[in-house]
Amino acid sequence: MKDITSEFLKIQLIFTALEILDKILSNFGVDVLEALSSTCTLFTRHSIGLGPLASDLLVAFLLITAHGGVLMCQAMVFAVTMNSKANALLALMIATNFVELKGQVYKRTDTNKLWTLACQDIVERFELLLVLCFVVVEDISNGGCWVPAAATLLVCGRIFFWEIIIDIAKHAVLGKFNDIRPGIYREYMRDLCVDSLDHHSHNMHKLVGFCPMGPAALCLRMLHTLFTLKGDGPPQWHLRAAFLLVAWLAACVLQVVVGFSLKWLAYLYVRHHAALAGGKSLPRAINVTPAGAKLVPAAAAAAKPGIGVAPAAVGTAAAAGVTAGAAAAGGGGGTTATAGAAGGTGSVGQAAAGAASLQSACAKAADVVNVRHSRSDEGQNSSSWDSLCCEQQ
């Protein structure tokens, strides 16, 4: 029992370290590739020399190699736990996900943080699928047969299924502890579809923070294993080369088909969501783009995680009310302001009238927000806009 516990702790430590490295390399990979693209553009315009291009290329090469190595090490950890007879795989999954859940539950989460977590889960599930495919390919290589073992496929399917279930439970707990309505995920889906329609095809992976070069390196390693697989008879290299060429052409066609299909599905979802909203332009559920640039003020979403951002009309009304109140406070209206400018002084009564006007404007803006929230499904109040008006007062 002592040996089993020691081995499990070692595997858990290695797997946790690999997960952290994977997230770090994925995050930096997007920025490094963007920097390399900008450097190549400047180099073609003869704005910079060969030195910056070579340095960026070296950094990108090292990062992609490290990312592919981390994914391969994750596959090796899964292979070791699969071959273990002490249920180490199930214990590893429970331990790693419980630690992640514990770290998220005791932190205050808003819609932006939840969006980042959802994007990380999307990337993790895709990379997990590639890692499991790598395990199956290595099992085929060790068995010397083109047909994978049924037991290996069953275990891989169980891993992927339970990871999805654990993610669902994690998001359910986060929504319960942070009072976030489940409908926010539909708004995430709408925002993601809108962004995918507005972006070019080669930039769509940036929407969720996905670095494709590391998983691509792992795919090339799998193709190399399949290409050099020794069967029962002598290797027929010309047939394998022809098969590889056909597979490459099919992958190119599949890339175009999948790209257009995703665009079309995104368009249908956006149109369906707009039809449910009655053709109205709804606010975004997230206040930052994947690159980190702010789109709209995040005061309301930060105060109420499940609400999102109030419409622009409400914000304009609040700003107009505050401006009117400030103008009244400074001069007591247009005529009084002129008189005050001529006389050089103001009266206490004018200042009091301005303060009353400001309070009335804040109350009107709060009433507008209360009406909007009372018509929504969540039925939440507008204390965030009250605090916003009071801060401006």
Q: What is the pLDDT of residue 4?
A: 61
Cα angle value 297/300/301 (rounded, 5°): 90
pTM of the model: 0.65
Which residues, given as ranges, of the chain have pLDDT below 70? 1-5, 85-91, 93-94, 103-106, 199-202, 230-236, 279-393
The answer to whether 332 touches 375, Cβ cutoff 8 Å, is no
The Cα 352–Cα 349 span in angstroms is: 5
- The whole-angstrom distance between residue 177's C-alpha and the CA centroid of its chain comes to 21
SS3 294: strand
The Cα 212–Cα 32 span in angstroms is: 12
Please check whether residue 28 lies inside any domain of the structure.
yes
Structure tokens at 260: 């257009």
The 10 Å CB-count burial string (b at 16+, else e) for 259-278 is: eeeeeeebeebbeebeeeee
Q: What is the pLDDT of residue 241?
A: 80
Q: What Å distances lie between residue 93 and 90, 102, 206, 270, CA to CA?
A: 5, 14, 28, 36
SS3 292: coil
Please check whether residue 293 lies inside any domain of the structure.
no
Please check whether residue 198 lies inside any domain of the structure.
yes
Please check whether residue 126 lies inside any domain of the structure.
yes
Assess whether 253 and 325 both reside in one domain: no
Please check whether residue 297 lies inside any domain of the structure.
no
Assess whether 131 and 268 both reside in one domain: yes
CA dihedral 108, 109, 113, 116 (to 10 degrees): 120
Assess whether 147 and 226 both reside in one domain: yes
Assess whether 137 and 80 both reside in one domain: yes
- Locus of tokens 């630690």: 99
Q: Count how many domains the chain has.
A: 2
The Cα 310–Cα 315 span in angstroms is: 7
Please check whether residue 284 lies inside any domain of the structure.
no
Assess whether 50 and 174 both reside in one domain: yes
Assess whether 249 and 376 both reside in one domain: no
Which parts of 302-367 are beta strand (E)? none
Q: What is the pLDDT of residue 47?
A: 85
Please check whether residue 101 lies inside any domain of the structure.
yes
Structure tokens at 93: 């999954």
Residue 346, domain extent: 310-392
- Locus of tokens 């066609």: 253
**Residue positions counted in the chain:** 393
According to DSSP, residue 282 is labeled P
In single-letter form, the type of residue at position 366 comes to A
Assess whether 25 and 140 both reside in one domain: yes
Assess whether 213 and 362 both reside in one domain: no
- Number of helices (H) and strands (E), helices first, in the chain? 13, 0
Boundary (domain end) residue, out of 255, 276, 297: 276
CA dihedral 119, 124, 130, 136 (to 10 degrees): -150
Q: What is the pLDDT of residue 393?
A: 38
The Cα 141–Cα 227 span in angstroms is: 10
379 conformational bin, left if phi > 0, alpha if psi -120 to 50, beta if neither: left
Q: What is the pLDDT of residue 334?
A: 38
Assess whether 145 and 193 both reside in one domain: yes
Q: What is the pLDDT of residue 295?
A: 41
Cα angle value 132/137/141 (rounded, 5°): 145
Boundary (domain end) residue, out of 230, 252, 276: 276
Structure tokens at 345: 């002084």
- Locus of tokens 């819609």: 111
